[in-house]
Copies of this chain bind each other. A is one copy, B any other.
Amino acid sequence: MAVLSDSIEQFLISLLSDEDSPVVLVQRNELANYFRCAPSQINYVLATRFTVERGYTVESRRGGGGYIRIVKINLDRNSYLKDLIENSIGTEMSQDAANTILLRLFETKCISQDEYRFSQSLLSDKAIGVPSPIKERVRANLIRQMAINWLQSKSMPQT
């Protein structure tokens, strides 16, 4: 029985997995229009399906430029950080690659916004301030150390 709410849920979930990005940005009216339903139906789906217990957070903004943003929380942050340390960080890393990783850690709530901004600034070419290819090596070393720090601090009891 394909209930509307289930279809909308599936649609959003597919958006969340298709692009291998843990974030989706939609406009309530647009989505409601696509499914030919009342806009408040979208709120119902969000309230019943995209809850924290199910591993999602929802943020939104009203008015011009309004949006609804759904983020899939990485429930096993430890394993993600471990994987990062062991497999994803080599001996060199570009600023772009580092930014991508940090953004993803932030979006999946592995790190806070403060941590995100702080680490991003430290991994910039400007902050490291030595020429290639040394800076790429330093960056890889630093982001690994950051991941280790986060792994340690987040695996303490009571987050």
Q: Mark A106-121, 1 if CB is under 8 A from B, else 0.
A: 0000000110011001
Cβ of A130 and Cβ of B122 under 8 Å apart? no
Q: A65-B3, A65-B6 are in contact. Are A129 and B117 (CB under 8 A)?
A: no
Is there a chain B Cβ closer than 8 Å to A138's Cβ? yes
Q: How large is the interface on A (under 10, 10 to 19, 20 to 34, 35 or more residues)?
A: 20 to 34
Chain B residues with CB below 8 A from A153, complex form: 114, 117-118
Closest CB of chain B to A157's CB: distance in Å?
Answer: 13
Cβ of A127 and Cβ of B141 under 8 Å apart? yes
Is there a chain B Cβ closer than 8 Å to A146's Cβ? yes
Cβ of B117 and Cβ of A141 under 8 Å apart? no
Is there a chain B Cβ closer than 8 Å to A67's Cβ? yes
Is there a chain B Cβ closer than 8 Å to A128's Cβ? yes
Closest CB of chain B to A135's CB: distance in Å?
Answer: 8
Chain B residues with CB below 8 A from A138, complex form: 128-130, 138
